[in-house]
Amino acid sequence: METKRYRVGFVGAGHVTKMHLDGLMKNKERAEVVAICDPNEDILKERANMYHIEQRYTELTEFIDNSNIDVAVVCTPSIIRKDVIFPLIEAGIPIFCEKPFTETLKEAQEITDKAKKHGVQISINQNFRKHYPFDFVRNLIADEEIGSVSSVKFQDYYFRQDQGWRTQCERNSLSVMGVHWLDGFRWILNSEAKSLVCQTYSSPAINCKGDTDSSVQILFQNGVTVSYSQSLSSPFRRTELIVVGETGTLVADYTNISLYQQDSKEPVKVWENPTGGQDLKPDSAFGGLNELLMAIENYENASNSSEDNLRTISLLEASYRSAAEQRIVTFNSDGILEEKFVKN
């Protein structure tokens, strides 16, 4: 059967759109970028000229009415998600949304409920499932390479001074990077959270309003505990995942996964992450979009659907609620943050 080619339009023309556009330019047989919308005319012109996009809009209503797109890629700031996504849903346009899906669980649930009511599919760009080797590790665990998992340790340390709107938000490092890692823990363990506790800190080394450093501990429903520490204020760099199992331990960074077994000072096996590295980041982003396209064609939910992402946003919301209220927060059996902890 001939593969359908989709007409794609972008809402938002900022820096992150380059990653998506680079991925789409390598897959023109699957999707054609025909339109782009952004209220900033200078950024709109720069991005449209760079990628030869003919239709250019500064008003969302005109974009929806006139672009004749099949799918929208939303790359706007997450603080205005609902204002952008609601009109797209009402127009019946499927959506591929940049992470984080929203700033709060309440808004994520509102969008998901509205999309379901209108029969519109939404997927989220959780591309670190493949860009970082979470998917590779998930498969090794499923193949019983290390036996039953007992614990997970994760560290992400580096120095990052952002510019623009995010620096003025109360939610920073966990929304910028933590949302990738929280989703990745769910992915490798194939389980949902039971409880969580978090502490956050805003370093004076970084010019921002929100958190720069955090420490999170999560108990999953399968009994595995994840300990995660984050710093966007550290001159020392390390991004490392350690998964301890009954017969071995996996140690991973962006590009390599090593297996250690008892009494082995050196890894007994080393794999290269086939989807890692900065050069392949646009490919993992396109892969997420293609999941949405295949879900549309097969009349099914994608693994990166908004319904699935409610559990990731629940972890994000829980981290901020725990830090603010200095308490352990809990989740229901579906991995959704319990109602008493949801911010209004």
* pLDDT tens digits, 48-65: 999 999 999 999 999 999
Query: What pLDDT shows up at residue 263?
Result: 86
| Residue 288 forms part of a structural domain | yes
pLDDT band for position 343 (cuts 50, 70, 90)? low
* Mean pLDDT taken over the chain: 96
The whole-angstrom separation of Cα 137 and Cα 134 is 5
Give me the helices (H) in the chain, please. 17-25, 41-51, 60-66, 81-90, 105-118, 128-131, 134-142, 173, 179-189, 281-298, 306-325
| Residue 229 forms part of a structural domain | yes
Q: Flag whether pLDDT at 1 surpasses 70.
A: no
pLDDT band for position 2 (cuts 50, 70, 90)? low
112/180 same-domain check: no
- Domain residues for the domain of 251 are 128-273+311-341
CB atoms near residue 251 (< 10 Å): 18
> Cβ distance 82 to 97 under 8 Å?
no
Q: Flag whether pLDDT at 338 surpasses 90.
A: no
Phi, psi of 290 (to 5 degrees): -65, -30
| Residue 52 forms part of a structural domain | yes
Query: What pLDDT shows up at residue 325?
Result: 96
150/30 same-domain check: no
pLDDT band for position 28 (cuts 50, 70, 90)? very high
105/156 same-domain check: no
b/e for 146-178, b at 16 or more Cβ within 10 A? beebeebbbbbbeeeeeeeebeebebbbbbbbb
243/184 same-domain check: yes
Q: Flag whether pLDDT at 319 surpasses 80.
A: yes
| Residue 111 forms part of a structural domain | yes
227/337 same-domain check: yes
229/256 same-domain check: yes
pLDDT band for position 182 (cuts 50, 70, 90)? very high
Q: Letter for the amino acid at 274?
A: P
250/179 same-domain check: yes
| Residue 1 forms part of a structural domain | no
Q: What is the mean pLDDT of residues 293-302?
A: 96
65/161 same-domain check: no
| Residue 94 forms part of a structural domain | yes
pLDDT band for position 341 (cuts 50, 70, 90)? low
Q: What is the mean pLDDT of residues 290-317?
A: 97
Query: What pLDDT shows up at residue 321?
Result: 97
Q: What is the mean pLDDT of residues 275-286?
A: 94
77/207 same-domain check: no
Query: What pLDDT shows up at residue 339?
Result: 73
The number of domains in the chain is: 2
- Neighbouring residues of 20: CB distance < 8 A, sequence distance ≥ 6: 10, 73, 75, 98, 125, 282, 285, 286, 289
67/112 same-domain check: yes
Q: Flag whether pLDDT at 77 surpasses 60.
A: yes
| Residue 18 forms part of a structural domain | yes
The predicted-structure confidence for 103-154, as pLDDT tens digits, reads as follows: 999 999 999 999 999 999 999 999 999 999 999 999 999 999 999 999 999 9
pLDDT band for position 264 (cuts 50, 70, 90)? confident
Q: What is the mean pLDDT of residues 322-331?
A: 97
Instruction: Give the domain CATH number at 167.
Output: 3.30.360.10
Instruction: Give the domain CATH number at 40.
Output: 3.40.50.720
Q: Flag whether pLDDT at 268 surpasses 60.
A: yes
188/322 same-domain check: yes
| Residue 79 forms part of a structural domain | yes
Q: What is the mean pLDDT of residues 310-329?
A: 97
The three-state secondary structure class of 284 is helix
Q: Flag whether pLDDT at 344 surpasses 60.
A: no
190/105 same-domain check: no
